[in-house]
Structures are given as C-alpha cells and as structure tokens.
Amino acid sequence: MPQRNMIEAIRSALADEMAADERVFVLGEDVGVKGGVFLATDGLLARFGEDRVVDTPIAEAGIVGVAIGASLHGLRPVAEIQFADYIHPAIDQILNEAARFRYRSNGDWHCPIVVRAPFGAGVHGALYHSQSTEALFTSTPGLKVLAPSTPYDAKGLLIAAIRDPDPVVFFEHKQLYRGAREEVPDGSYTVPIGRAALRRPGNDISLFTYGLMAHHSLAAAEELAREGVDVEVIDLRTLYPLDHAAILESVRKTGKALIVHEDKLTGGLGGEVGALIAEHAFEYLDAPVRRLASPDVHAVAFSDVLEAHFMLNPAKIAAAIRDLAAY
C-alpha cells in the first residue's frame, strides 16, 4: 500500500472520483495549469482536460455560485478556495443558498458540492493566509463541515464528501499537507461523515480536538502518560454534525474534559462541545469543562515571535492537561 502525505491523499481522492464519475469536476483559482497553490490538483488538467479542471477568476462568490448551479444540473463540483481566509466573499452563497436548497424545495432539490479550503497558521502566512474560519459554518443546518488530521482520513472523508447529496465544507490544515506520511490505499474508500476517531484511549481526561491540534494533543498526551496521567484523545474529524455519542461516552468514562482547537476561544467550536457535555453529562464531571484555544486577537502576526505566541503547541496543551488533572 503506498505511503502518502495529506496533499497526495487529497489529490488521489480527486483523481479516483473523477475517473469513477464523469459528473465530478474541480474549479478554483489556479487549479488547472498551476495545479493549485499547494498542488492538490497537480496533473489533473493533463489527465481530465479543461472541461473538468476549470481555472476561474479571483472571485470566490462566483466560484461557489458556479458550483451550486452546476450541482443543480446534476454535476458534482469540488470548488477550491485558495485559502480559508478568502472564503468570506462566498459565505452568502454557502450559507444562504447551498445549505438551504433541500429545505427550500421541500426535498425536491439538493446541492452536492464540496468547498475545499486550506486553513490554519504556523506557516508565516500572517493576516490573510493563517485564519481558522470553521466556526463561521458549524452553526448552519444543511451543511457538513469536515477537518481531517491524517492522510488516510483526508482521502476517505473527501470521497465521502464528494458522494454526499448535500454541501460539505472541507478544511485542510496547511501544516499537515506535507507532514507525516501513512498508508493510503489506491482506489476509492470512504470514512464515515459524522463519526469521531479515538486516537488514544485513556481513563483520566478526555481531550477533544481536530486538525493539526490532534497531532499536538497526542504528543502532549504521551508526555503526560510518563507522569501518570492517562489522556484519551478524540479526533472529532466532523465538526458539524458533531459525534455526540463519542463525546459523551468518553466524558462519562473519564469525568474530565479538555477541548483544544486552533480557532479563537470566543465563539469557537469548543464552546459547543462544552455545552453538549454540560447539558448531557454534567453528573459525570469531576471538574469544570476546560477549553484551550488561540487568543482572541484580530489576526495572526507575521512576526515569528508573535506567531509562536498565538499558536498552540504540545507544551501548552500539556500544561492545560496538568492543570485539569490536578483539579
């Protein structure tokens, strides 16, 4: 079985689905000739032609609007937003149009589009190439929001998203694109949408996370294991709809919960996970639910020092685990 990093896994998913289903096509800024700014679509133009690998103007609302229109005529578009920071002009198309087609048509119409967007900081991208924007979409019924942390999940979830009858926003952390490699099969397979992954079993603390923070959290959990604290790490993978059963089952076992994400603290997904636990597992808790997130600042600075201050890392997560364990 071939070893792939995340960008190779995403490219493999797109190629496999395009080969298997002629309705699937990709569109976005520089996805054709250049192969995408991160080369996720590299080679697809030569293989599938310009009718199915479409370079677009710099117009995110237009990219998603075209994808919506194409989906309503039976196609399966995969729209790439070059950076999650640039997704804002398309928010009206995603939230007010794509997410509501099934409801507004009483189930007669659906909108099977995927909107891919690289997100996250730590790559010296500064203000407009570092944002985590997932919380803008995780409160909208009609959407699914995914954020894989491994190459295997990236391919399987992307294929599941392309095949899904409803719109999916698919976030890919830039730091993971060319990080760890793992076995990723050739050919099509799916990872179920709506199911979290148990990355590390434990009995003392439940840690809920996703994306790059899943890797940092696992490193912190291994450090704490040497100190006698047994941390269970749950990779949410699907941010909306959340896997309520997996979250509550873990907390009911450990009695303590820590939620870690790179997005800002206020309004971030951690608040929703914490509310779920407080509402449905309060009697099992031995400590208040804790959140660890990036600071509530305007944006990520270009300065190395300020970017490092903004970013979470295994040491910061380990400190939060120690504090919660001592409660």
> Catalytic annotation on 129?
yes
Q: Which two tokens stand for residue 271?
A: 């608040």
The answer to whether 81 and 28 are in contact (CB under 8 A) is yes
CA distance 173 to 311: 13
Q: Which amino acid is at 318?
A: A
- What are the helix (H) ranges across 171-303? 212-225, 244-254, 269-280
C-alpha distance from residue 323 to each of 143, 271, 320, 327 (Å): 36, 19, 5, 7
Q: How far is CA 228 from its chain centroid? A: 31
Q: Which amino acid is at 280?
A: H
Helix axes 151-163, 6-20, angle to 10 degrees: 30
- In terms of C-beta density within 10 A (0-12 exposed, 13-18 middle, 19 or more buried), how is residue 287 classed? middle
> Which of the following is catalytic: 73, 88, 110, 129?
129
The answer to whether 119 and 133 are in contact (CB under 8 A) is yes
Active site positions, annotated: 129
